[in-house]
Structure 1
Amino acid sequence: MKKFALPLAIVVAGVLTISVLVVAKPKPVPQPAPEAPANVQVNVVEIRPDTLQLAVTAQGTVTPRREISLVAQVSGQVVSVEDHFVDGGFFAADERLIQIDDRDYQAALLAASSRLAAAEQRLAEEEGLSRQARREWRDLGDDSANDLFMRKPQLAAAKANLAAAKADLEVAQLNLERTRISVPYPGRLKETQVDLGQYVSAGTTLATAYDSSVVEVRLPLTEQQAALIDLPFARSTAANQRPEVTVIGTVAGHTQRWQGKLVRTDAYVDRDTRMYYAVVEVPEPFAQQVPLLPGLFVEALIEGRALNNVVKLPRAALYKRDKLLSLNDDNAIVETPVNVLQKSEEYVWVQGDFVAGTQVTLEKQSLTPVGMIVDPQRPLPAEQNAEPAQLADTAAAVTAAEE
């Protein structure tokens, strides 16, 4: 009996436990039918197309428009040097910089003048003898006189001698003028290489000088940047049609600005980089309060041309680099391709076939595929078109970058 008592007790306990669980089981409570899922809420902005001018920024180095090496054309000792003939010295157009000893060239000029007078005398004598020979032969009544008797070769030689004497005089005068070293435009001396008392020969480099009346900046432009500017490709482009350019640089720790014009482009597109190169000229760089020095690395803000159907949007609106996600009348997502004109850290300027008032999403683009119906939230005012021109926006971005 003991052998069967323990298993029986275990079976009875299990049956009792199962009975308790079955009796105590909670009864199901009916639940209401689930509601339809809510639409995704996204922030949007309304677009308002406008006609804008987008400025283009580029960087380059300031260079002189003209830079030459002053080379001696005659030999001699440097007998006079002006005070401004120093590195960095300014000079006016045709102002004397160096004087080479000219005594030998003055003597050569006198000798050439003497030879010219002798040649003129010889020509006058030959002309007289030629006239006399013609009279004598006419008196003989014979028309078959030879050229030698009529002194034609002698007369031709006298004329040639006179022409050579005149040429020698001109060369002597030119050599004398070449002892006075000057430059035909106002400029500044970059480097001097001779000084008072030094002997120079023809071909010796005396100094390097550049034109101080105008400097230029050569700017590389991409295809996208070139499309925003009226580049002066044509030779007949009028001066008033050339884009204005603001040149921005740092001098002695302070940001300075200078005004110039985009005057021309290089004759070719760089075949390695496919870049356009535009040249900006800044007149009178040293006449301003802070000079625009050659060699300075600067940033240029180029005035853009007027573009139609341009919209300024927060940068978050851009999707897959060149698309926008907009809403149709049913608030369904529609993908719209655009032409991206320009970007900044906060905004993007795009061009396309837009309808005013269309809503563009600013977030959750990866969660809202094309065709999904969304719930637009907090429409933002169209701040992107508050300014009539884009120059101020780009200038502000450049200033922020400088700071």
Structure 2
Amino acid sequence: MRFLRKSLTGLFLLSLTLGLLVWAGAMVRDAVQARLSEEPPQRRASEQVFAVNVVTALPGTEVPVLTAFGEVQSRRTLELRAATPGTVMELAPEFVEGGRVSEGQLLARIDPAEAQAELDRAQSDLLDAQAEQREADRALVIAQDELSAAREQVRLQEQALQRQRDLVDRGVGATANVESAELAVSSAGQAVLTRRQAVAEAEARIDQAVTDLKRAEVALSEAERRLADTEIRAAFSGTLSDVTVVTGGLVSANEQLAQLVDLDALEVAFRVSTAQYTRLLDDEGDLRSAPVTATLDTFGLDLAATGVLDREGAAVGEGQTGRRLFADLDNARGFKPGDFVTVTIQEAPIENVARLPATAINAANEVLVVNEDQRLLPLPVELIRRQGDDILVRAEGLDGQQVVAQRTPLLGAGIKVRPTSTRSGRDRQDVTSDATLLELTEERRARLVAFVEGNDAMPEEARTRILAQLGQSRVPAQVVQSIESRMGG
């Protein structure tokens, strides 16, 4: 009995334990199912606000600037050539590459011996011609006197003939005497004809003498010109280039010795498109005398010269497009013919346009403006000009609007934004930001100074200015970057 009782008790406890485990498993299952069947809590979504840079559109009058690239050249460039062949006997000290000469200065002299001998012969021929003319004049005077004497003889013989006839009429003269007188008159008349022929020959001799004298004078003038051609003088003040001759050298006729360039008469030639060319015309279709600025970048110090548009090319040119324009430069110090420069031309003023950043417009010519609810609205605009990083636009309702300065793919109509005000377009144009300054190590500063001092192509004014900047404790970063880019560092 005792064994049976213990067995039943163990079976009871085992059954109770299994029941509790089943009940606990059911509770866990129900809890998991209840958890899985619950819906997640709904969170209230908040609208995202973007921070944007905006500029205030202020329409007004703007002067667009047209940018082109051109080459500096001289309006007066003369090729110095030898007019006569020979040996170069003398050269001026300034007759070297880059030599400065003044107007009328003797630059070179070619051996004048042959030209001088020809001049002496021409002078002798002229003296002979003058002597011949004087002798012809005297011969004409003598011939005219002889003609007068012959005519006087005719008059006397006619008087003698008339006396003989009167004697015959009175019966006291002889017929033979009359005939003799008639023969004498006839002989005197023949003498007059001979003297007239002599006068005509004397007059012809004078004409020939005058012709010979003129010919001798022309020959003398040519001889003097040939002698003068042995001297080469400067036609105007300027600078010599392409010098190819030395003292003692043998030159041929028309051989180029050098080029004379007037550095005080510089101009810039550049090419613009046809569309840009039309913007530079006035109401009558003529080229305006628009202000022009030519800029040459020289190691951070830009050489600049101002001028005005002067003329345009007569033809487009084979294989070319657009128009070739020329502008006179005033006080172009530091510029040389052949310099490649940036040319900016002021166009005619445009009214009622706003200056905005170029990043504010899209391909559809729309800008985004911020309304009163701080939301973006697209506004169509008319694109008038592109000016570097800016644009000139015109639109109704644009005055005073806050325009997004930089468009991104995240920005669009209806987006709520937080504007960050920046300068207006006109203020950004007028304000020049200060250059970033760098502190240089002594080694780096010495390397930059050595490069600038050893660059012979740099103008003296630019070298002095840059060395002064490099000598300061802090140097503009633009100057350092420009020099190091040319050093290859």
Tell me the TM-score normalized by structure 2: 0.60
User: 1:194, 1:28 → 2: CA distance?
Assistant: 103
1:103 paired residue number: 113
**Partner amino acid, structure 1, of 2:301:** T
Distance change in 2, residues 1:225/1:255 (3 Å): farther
**Distance in 2 (alpha carbons) for counterparts of 1:210 and 1:302:** 26
1:291-330 counterparts in 2 under 5 A? 291-320=334-363, 322-326=365-369
**Which of residues 382, 388, 391 in structure 2 aligns to 1:337?**
382
Whether the 8 Å CA contact 2:356–2:393 is kept in 1: the answer is no
Higher alpha-carbon deviation: 378-387 or 211-220: 378-387
403, 417, 436: which one aligns with 1:360: 403
Match of 2:337, SS state, is: coil
Matched to 1:192, the amino acid is: V
1:227 positional shift? 5.6
Q: Does 1:255 align with 2:278?
A: no
Which of residues 147, 157, 168 in structure 1 aligns to 2:208? Answer: 157
CA distance in 2 between counterparts of 1:177 and 1:391 reads 61
Amino acid at match of 2:303: R
Label 1:114 to 1:283 Cα distance change in 2 as closer, same or farther (>3 A).
Answer: farther
Q: Would you say the 8 A contact 1:45–1:382 is kept in 2? A: yes
**Distance in 2 between residues matched to 1:297 and 1:162, nearest whole Å:** 59
Q: Deviations over 1:37-85 (max 9, x none)?
A: 9698674433111212233333333333333332211233222122222
Query: SS at 1:150's partner residue?
Result: helix
Return the offset for 1:187: 1.9
- Could you say which residue in structure 1 is the equivalent of 2:323? 276
Q: Give the direction of change, closer, same or farther, for the CA distance of 1:202–1:30 in structure 2 (3 Å limit).
A: closer
Contact 2:133/2:209 (<8 A) preserved = yes
Q: Is 2:237 the counterpart of 1:186?
A: yes
In 2, Cα distance between equivalents of 1:164 and 1:21: 139
Counterpart-to-counterpart distance in 1, 2:107 and 2:285? 40
Paired position in structure 2 for 1:245: 293
> Which residue of 1 is the match for residue 83 of structure 2?
73
Pair 1:176-2:227 in alignment: yes
SS in 2 for 1:160: helix
Q: Which has the larger radius of gyration?
A: 2
Amino acid at match of 1:336: V
Aligned residues: 368
Q: What's the counterpart of residue 392 of structure 2?
A: 350
Instruction: Looking at secondary structure, tell me which structure has more helix per residue.
Output: 2
CA drift of 1:303 comes to 3.8
Shift, 1:176, TM fit: 1.2
Deviations 1:284-314 (A, max 9, x none): 65xx4xx323333333344444222232212
- For 1:316 and 1:328, the matched residues in 2 are separated by 20
**CA shift digits 1:1-59 (9 cap, x unpaired):** xxxxxxxxxxxx9xx99x95999586889989x99x96986744331112122333333
Q: Which residue of 1 aligns with 2:160?
A: none
CA contact (8 A) 1:213 1:284 kept: yes
Q: Letter of the 1:218 partner, please give it.
A: A
Residue 62 of structure 2 corresponds to: 52
The one of the two structures with greater contact order (alpha-carbon pairs below 8 A, sep at least 6) is 1
Normalized per residue, which structure has more strand?
A: 1
The worse-fitting range, judged by mean Cα deviation, of 172-181 and 113-122 is: 113-122
The correspondence of residues 21-32 of structure 1 with structure 2, limited to 5 A, is: 24=34
> 2:198 & 2:478 partners in 1: Cα distance?
92
Alignment partners' CA distance in 1, 2:388 and 2:365 = 12
In structure 1, the partner of 2:72 is: 62
Tell me which residue corresponds to 1:378.
419
Supply the distance in 2 between the matched residues of 1:214 and 1:392 (Cα, whole angstroms).
Answer: 34
Aligned residues of 2:108 and 2:231 also touching (Cα < 8 A): yes
- 1:123 maps to 133
2: distance between equivalents of 1:358 and 1:40? 20
CA distance in 2, matches of 1:367, 1:218: 46
Percent identity of the aligned residues? 22
CA contact (8 A) 2:382 2:393 kept: no
SS at match of 1:192: coil
Q: CA deviation at 1:247?
A: 2.4
State whether structure 2 residue 290 is matched by structure 1 residue 265: no
